[in-house]
Structure 1
Amino acid sequence: MSVKVRQITITIRTIVNGLCYFATFVFGINSLGLLLNSGQLAINSIMGGSTNNENGSKIEENVDSLSPVKENVAEGIKSTGGKED
């Protein structure tokens, strides 16, 4: 085997090993984050923290507050004939 082919083989092997190490590190950090998140959710549910019903009502309030904006936009489109500049 020539020296150049051997160098190319070693380079490719090094790149593949580096990518595998990087992927392992990324997946490890993701799994740690998911475990911490599930622990936080479990603690919140045990301690009686924020429930989904409270969050849902807040979202509905925000949507209702945007309805005048929607009406103004609709009126603006009607007055210009639906044409944009």
Structure 2
Amino acid sequence: MNTPSTLPPHINRHVVITGIVQTEAVRLGSNPADRLSTEDVHRIGQEIADELDGNNVEMAHVHALVRAKVDLALQERKAAVAQH
């Protein structure tokens, strides 16, 4: 399956981006104790969809935003777990 190079504004971006967030969260959070919750995944997906609202967006940009936000959320999660 070919992946489009842009994410057009007329599709449900939240759903598409949340799927990318989920994939990246599983890939980066290899330790089950460090994984993001479903609520975190949906929140990050919605935040990114809101940031990108309105225009065609390069998928490379979407993936970069997802990686950055998921990495930050995982670091915060690890820090919170370490404090307990």
TM bucket normalised to smaller: 0.3 to 0.5
TM score, norm. by length of structure 1 = 0.33
Q: Which protein, 1 or 2, shows the higher relative CO under an 8 Å CA cutoff with sep ≥ 6? A: 2
**TM, length-normalised to structure 2:** 0.33
Report the structure, 1 or 2, having the larger helix content: 1
Structure with the higher fraction of residues in strand conformation: 2
